[in-house]
Structure 1
Amino acid sequence: MTRVVVADDQPVVLEGFTTILGATSDLEVVGTARDGVELVTLVAATRPDVALVDVRMPRLDGIAATARVRAAHPGTHVIVLTTFDLDEYVTRALEAGASGFLLKDVPAARLVEGVRLVAAGALLLGPRVARHLLADVDAAPRREVPGVDRLTPREREVLTVVAGGLSNAEVAAKLGIGEQTVKTHVSELLRKLARRDRAQLVVAAYEAGVVVPG
């Protein structure tokens, strides 16, 4: 059973998402929050697998709340919810540790699928989000990312595939290696690049030019 919390300052969104997720046999909503401060407290108390977090909330916004949640509870994956154009949020949210994005008017089936994917370790980066991320990176000067020069050819290959948002199982299938081997490579990538999670690996891959926009 995947445990989920939902944070949004709009009661209709909380009720709608809770109803949809609660009607799914393998998902359980273990709590809701109306702002970022409540979310941080809620995650500490319930230790969910996935948190759905509105990007704009009172007291503590979704990106700041995501950073706190991921720092204190790395086992909780965060999906950022928004009704807004994503340009200004994409890179900041990924750097904060978000595993993906969903629009608040997402169809019920896509919402459920997204939660399952993120719980399994995948990144939820649709084409629109990917375009914004590439635009952000393309507009910025290339940065030297410490540790990239120490990556093995296989680690670079795994990093390139992970940057596409694939889960460990999907990376394993694509590269023809075992899932446990992928987990080992991802752990080494996190260690060598001094990154906290897969989302930050994606940002590092583009910043360092390991993955090139285009």
Structure 2
Amino acid sequence: MSGGRRCLVWAPPGLREPLEARLSSHAFEVAHAVDKTPVDVAVIYFDGDDASLEVLSRAVELKSARRLLAWSTRSARPLIEAAFSLGAHSWVFAEPPAAWDEVARAACRLVSEEAGNVVVPSARAFDEFLPLISRLSPRERDVLRFVAAGMDNLTIAAHLGISERTVKTHVSALYRKLAQENRAQLALLGAACSSP
């Protein structure tokens, strides 16, 4: 059952169906039309084309969702900045088939307010972080890359073959070294700094 959480999904055919199924398995009721009551989260595939720009803009204009989650299979600074400038509350970079779980978990975090609102630094601010990122250890850069991909600590631990506690230690070090206050900011910074 939905547990009272409702979502809207916009994505091209082939991406939408598996994502809707995964969101349903994470206790979301998937709405298929906008009504007078906003859904908890709108999950919008955003690749910067005219269609995704229009969908995100209209979702903001119509106030169709309390929170907007933009996701893409591409991680590029201009794309991330465009999504946030249009009104997205959170961003996930994820590639299928792992995308379905990663996006669904991000939607759950966003609805539970764990992600909070993210303030997007300017391109100049990203450039100021590049020297700091170059001083990170190779393992810290690995962890940052996985955080930027929207993975949780347990998933990162499995990918790197280390304990979840070790991942938490690295994430804490990243917060301190990069002067970030929450995971969403850390993920955004990591995604943007690793983009061309």
Relative to the length of structure 1, the TM-score reads 0.48
The aligned amino acid for 2:11 is D
Aligned partner of 1:136 among 108, 123, 128: 123
The aligned amino acid for 2:104 is V
Change (3 A) 1:49 1:135: same
Contact 1:13 1:104 in 2 (8 A): no
Query: Alignment length, in residue pairs?
Result: 131
Change (3 A) 1:162 1:5: farther
Contact 1:30 1:46 in 2 (8 A): no
Aligned partner of 1:117 among 88, 109, 116: 109
Alpha-carbon distance in structure 2 between the residues aligned to 1:110 and 1:53: 14
Contact 2:18 2:100 in 1 (8 A): no
Matched, 1:53 2:54: no
Change (3 A) 1:94 1:123: farther
**Structure 1 residue 114, shift from structure 2 partner:** 0.7
The aligned amino acid for 1:30 is A
Alpha-carbon distance in structure 1 between the residues aligned to 2:86 and 2:64: 11
**Structure 1 residue 134, shift from structure 2 partner:** 4.8
Change (3 A) 1:107 1:62: closer
Aligned partner of 2:58 among 48, 63, 68: 68
Question: 1:87 matched to which residue of 2?
Answer: 77
- The superposition leaves residues 117-162 of structure 1 with CA deviations (integer Å, 9 ceiling, x where unpaired) of 111234389xxx99xx55714279xxxxxxxxxxxxxxxxxxxx99
The aligned amino acid for 2:9 is V
The aligned amino acid for 2:77 is D
Contact 2:44 2:71 in 1 (8 A): yes
**Structure 1 residue 91, shift from structure 2 partner:** 1.5
Structure 1 residue ranges without an equivalent (≥5): 32-41, 141-160, 167-198, 203-214
The aligned amino acid for 1:79 is L
Change (3 A) 1:107 1:74: closer
Question: 1:4 matched to which residue of 2?
Answer: 7
- The superposition leaves residues 85-139 of structure 1 with CA deviations (integer Å, 9 ceiling, x where unpaired) of 32211122112110112224245443332111111234389xxx99xx5571427
Contact 2:68 2:90 in 1 (8 A): yes
The aligned amino acid for 1:117 is R
The aligned amino acid for 2:38 is R
**Structure 1 residue 7, shift from structure 2 partner:** 0.7
The aligned amino acid for 2:89 is S
**Structure 1 residue 63, shift from structure 2 partner:** 3.2
Identity %: 14
Aligned partner of 1:21 among 9, 15, 23: 23
Alpha-carbon distance in structure 1 between the residues aligned to 2:15 and 2:116: 20
